[in-house]
């Protein structure tokens, strides 16, 4: 039988999925701004982050209301606390998209990413955006299988990060210090977005199964 | 009159202050490893991070026990949830110290930080370590005044970060791309430690006053 608690919890998870969708848009648009040097798209990502912040506050308020009024225990309690953590991580992923957009904006009308590292950086961005998209599905469907798969795919991000360092630090690098610093920081931001995506997915595993997934080998 | 709830909450805040103290040690030792190219100190920071992770788990368990058994509402509920968030941030500050230690280790027997940026980087490290030390005091004393002061001092970190970019990107930079990338990432790690310190301090303000501090201008 459905009760008020279940309905309220479902509403919170719907809101979380909605925030995750906004974050996916932010990651995609920040990448577009970065790869094309488009300042108006960069500005859009930066200004729309306030919407994510507001959506986060709404979820936090709902979680506190649920904790106060329903006083859940055991598994239910852990689910609500997990939701509070997930929303904090999703908001952080939005902030990281803003960091990407700010680097893009700083270099307009140029493009921060030199031609020959563009494939690696574009793939990092694609992996990050794809992971956020899958997190949305994981949250809406409470999909443990998809969450486990997400944890495995984080590996590609690590490989891409290493490859981008090899490109930067090779003898053929001809773009100077500024571009190298941009690439290193951009790589860090995309990597952190992926880390948070895995962490959010792991929290869904915990909510559904009651167990934390084993750390990746 | 003191009750079981108050005692348990005090114990949680004592544990938080203990973790903050460990983080301060980690930041200090990571910096020492970085500035001297000492691999055994770097290894120590990396291996001792597991202690911080375990201490975090203990605090989380205590918070869940308190939520389940005492079912706090309103302000008390928010205090316990704030403690859960503070411990997550303190653990993250430990992870960031590990990142600093890993850059130090990667460059041994060299020192990752070239001579002429050492004053700026050393000051960033000092500000970060000092802020973590003050967070410990803020937590143990529930000291709102000290917490507010901490938020103001974050400004120096921003200035130092900008100065380090000016040094990296100036015409006189003669240390190549690798050192520049190291410095950019190290600056990011220290800046994030400082950000988290401010955030933890703000949560103490919230716990004591019931209000979030106004965002810095």
- pLDDT tens column, B46-93: 999 999 999 999 999 999 999 888 888 778 888 999 999 999 999 999
Contacts with A, B 57-86, CB within 8 Å: 64, 67-68, 71, 73-74, 77-78, 81, 84-85
Contacts with A, B 115-134, CB within 8 Å: none
Provide mean pLDDT across the span B26-45: 98
Q: Return the pLDDT at A2.
A: 62
Provide mean pLDDT across the span B8-19: 96
Asked if residue B90 belongs to a domain, the reply is yes
Higher pLDDT, B138 or A70: B138
Asked if residue B178 belongs to a domain, the reply is yes
Q: Return the pLDDT at A96.
A: 98
Tell me which chain A residues have a C-beta less than 8 angstroms from the C-beta of B195: none
- Of B64, B81, B168, nearest to A181 by CB-CB distance is B168
A3-12, A158-167, B22-31, range with the lowest pLDDT: A3-12
- Of A67, A85, A178, nearest to B77 by CB-CB distance is A67
- pLDDT tens column, A78-119: 899 999 999 999 999 999 999 999 999 999 999 999 999 999
Position A217 confidence tier, pLDDT thresholds 50, 70, 90: very low
Asked if residue B217 belongs to a domain, the reply is no
What ipTM was reported for this prediction? 0.90
Q: Return the pLDDT at B2.
A: 61
SS3 annotation, chain B: CCCHHHHHHHHHHHHHHHHHHHHHHHHHHHHHHHHHCCHHHHHHHHHHHHHHHHHHHHHHHHHHHHHHHHCCCHHHHHHHHHHHHHHHHHHHHHHHHHHHHHHHHHHCCCCCCCHHHHHHHHHHHHHHHHHHHHHHHHHHHCCHHHHHHHHHHHHHHHHHHHHHHHHHHCCCCCCHHHHHHHHHHHHHHHHHHHHHHHHHHHHHHHHHHCCCCCCCC
Contacts with A, B 141-170, CB within 8 Å: 165, 168-169
Contact at CB, B181 and A184, closer than 8 angstroms? yes
Asked if residue A201 belongs to a domain, the reply is yes
Residue of B nearest to A179 (CA): B177
- pLDDT tens column, A151-170: 887 889 999 999 999 999 99
Provide mean pLDDT across the span B206-214: 84
Asked if residue B136 belongs to a domain, the reply is yes
* pLDDT reading at A215 higher than 80: no
- Of A85, A176, A185, nearest to B184 by CB-CB distance is A185
* pLDDT reading at B216 higher than 60: no
For helices A39-70 and A4-36, the axis angle rounded to 10 degrees is: 160
Contact at CB, B178 and A188, closer than 8 angstroms? no
Tell me which chain A residues have a C-beta less than 8 angstroms from the C-beta of B106: none
Q: Return the pLDDT at B217.
A: 42
Tell me which chain B residues have a C-beta less than 8 angstroms from the C-beta of A81: 64, 67, 81, 84
- pLDDT tens column, A37-49: 999 999 999 999 9
Mention every residue, 6+ apart, whose C-beta is less than 8 A from residue A124: A157, A160, A161, A164, A186, A187, A190, A191
Least Cα distance to A207 among A94, A55, A92, A86 occurs for: A86
CATH of the domain at B35: 1.20.58.220
Cβ–Cβ contact B188 with A under 8 A: yes
CA A57 to CA A42: how far, in whole Å?
Answer: 24
- Asked if B105 contacts B42 with a C-beta cutoff of 8 angstroms, the reply is yes
Position A214 confidence tier, pLDDT thresholds 50, 70, 90: low
Distance from CA of B184 to the nearest CA of A (A): 6
Provide mean pLDDT across the span B18-31: 98
- pLDDT tens column, B158-200: 999 999 999 999 988 999 999 999 999 999 999 999 999 999 9
Tell me which chain A residues have a C-beta less than 8 angstroms from the C-beta of B181: 165, 168-169, 180-181, 184
Task: List the domain range (segments joined by +) for residue B169.
Answer: 4-209
- Asked if A141 contacts A205 with a C-beta cutoff of 8 angstroms, the reply is no
Position A4 confidence tier, pLDDT thresholds 50, 70, 90: confident
For helices A74-107 and A39-70, the axis angle rounded to 10 degrees is: 170
CA B14 to CA B19: how far, in whole Å?
Answer: 9
Contact at CB, B169 and A178, closer than 8 angstroms? yes
- Asked if A177 contacts B168 with a C-beta cutoff of 8 angstroms, the reply is yes
Asked if residue B214 belongs to a domain, the reply is no
Asked if residue B16 belongs to a domain, the reply is yes
Contact at CB, B73 and A73, closer than 8 angstroms? no
> What DSSP designation does A3 have?
-
Q: Return the pLDDT at B215.
A: 60
CA dihedral sign, ordered B151, B162, A192, B217: positive
Please give the tally of structural domains in chain B: 1
- pLDDT tens column, B85-137: 999 999 999 999 999 999 999 999 999 999 999 999 999 999 999 999 999 99
Contact at CB, A71 and B74, closer than 8 angstroms? no
CA B168 to CA A185: how far, in whole Å?
Answer: 14
């Amino acid at each position: 039988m459905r009760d008020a608690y279940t309905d309220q919890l479902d509403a919170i998870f719907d809101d979380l999925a909605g925030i995750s969708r906004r974050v996916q848009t932010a990651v995609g648009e920040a990448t577009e701004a970065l790869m094309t040097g488009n300042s108006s798209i960069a500005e859009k990502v930066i200004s729309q982050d306030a919407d994510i912040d507001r959506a986060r506050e709404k979820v936090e308020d709902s979680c506190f209301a649920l904790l106060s009024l329903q006083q859940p225990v055991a598994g239910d309690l852990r689910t609500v606390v997990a939701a509070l953590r997930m929303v904090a991580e999703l908001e952080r992923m939005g902030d990281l998209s803003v960091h990407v957009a700010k680097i893009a904006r700083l270099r307009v009308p140029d493009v921060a990413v030199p031609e020959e590292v563009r494939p690696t950086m574009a793939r990092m961005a694609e992996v990050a955006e794809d992971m956020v998209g899958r997190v949305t599905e994981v949250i809406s469907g409470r999909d443990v299988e998809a969450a486990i798969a997400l944890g495995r795919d984080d590996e590609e991000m690590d490989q891409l990060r290493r490859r981008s360092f090899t490109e930067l630090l090779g003898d053929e690098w001809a773009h100077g210090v500024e571009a190298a610093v941009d690439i290193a920081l951009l790589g860090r931001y995309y990597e952190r977005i992926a880390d948070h995506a895995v962490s959010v997915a792991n929290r869904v595993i915990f909510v559904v199964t009651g167990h934390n997934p084993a750390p990746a080998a």
